Structure 1
Amino acid sequence: MTAEMTAAVLYGKEDLRLEQVAIPEACKGEIIVQVGAALTCGTDLKVYRRGYHAAMGKPPMLFGHEVAGTVVEVGDTVSKFHVGDRVVPLNSAPCDVCFFCRHGQQNLCEDLLFNNGAYAEYLRVPARIVEKNTLLIPDCIPFEHAALTEPLACAVRGFEESGAKAGDTMIVIGAGPLGLMLMHVAELAGVSVIAVVKRADQVEVARIFGARDVLRLDQVGDIVLAARTLTPSARGADVVIEAVAVPETWEWAVDMVRKGGVVNFFGGPPSGTKVQLDTNRLHYGDITLKASFHHTPATCRTAFDLVTSGRFKCAEYITGRVGLEEISKVFPRMMVRSGSVRDIKTAVFPGGRLV
């Protein structure tokens, strides 16, 4: 008789169910991880709303991808990890042989391998991720902190791609989980951060994660003018990162950056979204427009170092804790903003809620 575990399975739009499924077994090169903690994520919320993700999988599918835990089984040929090791397996790994990998763009890999199933008691980690993108966790780091590595790696890559350096001024539009990470990464690098937020509860949390100044949309008439006024000589920011993913904020970003500056369209809008930009300002302002997607093994390791060094405010970032049995209630709550300053990211514990 096949042993079973509890796992969250996504069947379609807003249809997430807890079920008993077979505990995975490790094939050649793979490991099985007993999940110590998994984290909620904006990408998971998008998939929950839409019912699928073209790259990450189609329903019915195991769900969740930010995770850390303990190795309980290793497959043949695995030598880097052993039973009992505490690890954070990232949610993807590149092939390292395609055109994009060979051109230093592993995040665009033509055969980027994704892995899901974090909201479960056990997780199978494919051989490629075991080999290229699984990291040993020091004993002193809680699982829920280590699991922050994946989203933080995306923020690190967004920051690095923007070319910001110590002493620069950066505007971050949006104070969702990734917007806050971008603020904190920038602050740790010595960048002066101006945050543009929507709600009153986001003001304090933006300051916690490094914003020098915070602008609330409902308190200013002209958000572009207000943001530029806070920059040196009101010339605009050296870098503007858009982390909301709507056309209006994309346009704001271009209007908030200085001549010669960089705009990073970090937020991922739905397919088919269009924006209108002032081409005169782009051309004569010599403005660089960029976008950054996902992470690479290198930025995963940079993010992991921020977490394990204690520099990143992990404890402040984990604002909710639930047992796995509560997961089907978590995503409906995420769809309705609570207005709570302590509502950033929830840790899910298969072994029961930890406090």
Structure 2
Amino acid sequence: MKMKRVLYYAPGDIRVEEADVPTPGEGEIVIKNKVTLTCGTDVKTYKRGYRYEPPFGFGHECSGVVYAVGPGVKNFVVGDRVVAHNSAPCGHCYYCKKGEPSMCESLIQNQFKNGGYAEYQLIPAPIVEQNTFHIPDNMEYKQAALLEPLACALYGTEMTHFDMGDTVCVNGCGPIGLMFVRMCVLRGARVIACDMNPERLATAKKLGAEIVINIKDVEDQAQAVIDQTPEKRGVDAAIEATGLAQVWEIAANMARPGGEVLFFGGPKKGSTVTFDTNKFHYQQLTMKGVFHTTPQVVNGAFELLKMGAIKADDFVQNEYPIEETEQAILEHASGKVIKNCIVYD
């Protein structure tokens, strides 16, 4: 039996090809995808590739129905509605034992082995065991497919130190940035959101941001944010969610003395930034990079999805068939939508 899947070959060159439907091995399952959502990582992959040698599959925000189960699978049967996260740690390397599973030396990132832009997707055993969930009957596939980005935003929020009532600035209102906005609001922060897209800023406002700043309307983004903080002292925490090195520097300049800066967006490899060491030292700033997420947080993110803490209607706009995946990704890249959705028969 054949299926359609999308493969990356080179920058700007992705192709829909036919392949055999995978057969699950020990502990594995095969999901017949119902939807796959576009993501900023997909845009970066399309434009510049990834660290793997092409061709390779990509896409990782998916949900669907169990099509086949391998030997030893106990918790899932054919026909179950499920969502699988794109990764799982090994649980036994140095970093896993240190309680840092996002740094796992053997972290499985399934999207580049069994890409989500496909009618059928093989899910490796560690992901089946740790990060695959039954979708409730009242949850839409699009809602479930938001699991991976919400887990990342939730992890970043949990790794940022601020108290209820503190002021937090989220720089960048793409999908992840908007989820940061929502998670920080739910945790009791007064949120300032920065972007240049009026529609995304409107969504940030809808998700609870108290103040939105269109960076096209200000000369100094950091100062514009500081001016909106109590006594103009700066934000208690600044979150960078664009993946642009220049925004890393801007975020570092808006934190108050003793404040924290979280770098979540991943800039292009080889990018460098410059910080004022005097400010860094004497104002006792804390700056940290955070990558990906953990199984514990993935579980929490799925519970939040079930609670309706975020809703697919606020994040997912247009639907496309798999043959038009490139168009869906390009529209996402243009900023005209927050996310698009590939829908399978």
What is the TM-score of this pair, normalised by structure 2? 0.96
The C-alpha deviation readout for 1:133-171, integer Å capped at 9, x for no partner, is 111111111111101010110100110101233211100
The C-alpha deviation readout for 1:29-65, integer Å capped at 9, x for no partner, is 10011101111000111111113x22xx432112211
Counterpart contact for 2:169–2:191, Cα < 8 Å: yes
Residue type of the alignment partner of 2:235: A
Matched residue count: 342
Residue type of the alignment partner of 1:30: E
Q: Choose the corresponding residue for 1:320, options 318, 321, 325.
A: 318
Residue type of the alignment partner of 1:90: H
By how many angstroms is 1:272 displaced?
Answer: 1.1
Which residue in the other structure is 1:348 paired with?
Answer: 342
Q: Choose the corresponding residue for 1:105, options 100, 103, 117.
A: 100
Answer yes or no: is 1:36 the counterpart of 2:34.
yes
By how many angstroms is 1:201 displaced?
Answer: 3.1
Q: State which drifts further: 247-256 or 293-302.
A: 247-256
Mapped to 1, the partners of 2:227 and 2:330 lie a distance apart of: 39
Alignment root-mean-square deviation, CA: 1.3
The C-alpha deviation readout for 1:165-191, integer Å capped at 9, x for no partner, is 321110011111111110011111111
Mapped to 2, the partners of 1:4 and 1:319 lie a distance apart of: 29
SS in 2 for 1:259: strand
Q: Choose the corresponding residue for 1:68, options 47, 63, 67.
A: 63
Mapped to 2, the partners of 1:37 and 1:198 lie a distance apart of: 29
Mapped to 2, the partners of 1:317 and 1:13 lie a distance apart of: 26
Which residue in the other structure is 1:199 paired with?
Answer: 197
Answer yes or no: is 1:182 the counterpart of 2:176.
no
SS in 1 for 2:303: helix
Which residue in the other structure is 2:110 paired with?
Answer: 115
Counterpart contact for 2:197–2:335, Cα < 8 Å: no
Which residue in the other structure is 2:87 paired with?
Answer: 92
By how many angstroms is 1:345 displaced?
Answer: 0.6
TM alignment of 1:237-276, pairs within 5 A = 237-276=235-274
Q: State which drifts further: 319-328 or 72-81.
A: 319-328
By how many angstroms is 1:271 displaced?
Answer: 1.2
Which residue in the other structure is 1:16 paired with?
Answer: 14
The C-alpha deviation readout for 1:74-93, integer Å capped at 9, x for no partner, is 10011011111111111011
Mapped to 2, the partners of 1:203 and 1:77 lie a distance apart of: 48
Which residue in the other structure is 2:129 paired with?
Answer: 131
Which residue in the other structure is 1:155 paired with?
Answer: 153
Runs of 4 or more above 2 Å deviation: 199-203, 245-248, 331-338
By how many angstroms is 1:328 displaced?
Answer: 2.8
Listed as ranges, the gaps of 5+ residues in structure 2 are none
Listed as ranges, the gaps of 5+ residues in structure 1 are none
SS in 1 for 2:64: strand
Identity among equivalent pairs (%): 41
Counterpart contact for 1:200–1:216, Cα < 8 Å: yes
Counterpart contact for 2:38–2:332, Cα < 8 Å: no
Counterpart contact for 2:143–2:311, Cα < 8 Å: no
Mapped to 2, the partners of 1:46 and 1:147 lie a distance apart of: 20
Q: Choose the corresponding residue for 1:82, options 63, 74, 77.
A: 77
Q: Choose the corresponding residue for 1:59, options 24, 29, 54.
A: 54
Mapped to 2, the partners of 1:309 and 1:177 lie a distance apart of: 19
Residue type of the alignment partner of 1:96: G
Residue type of the alignment partner of 1:347: C
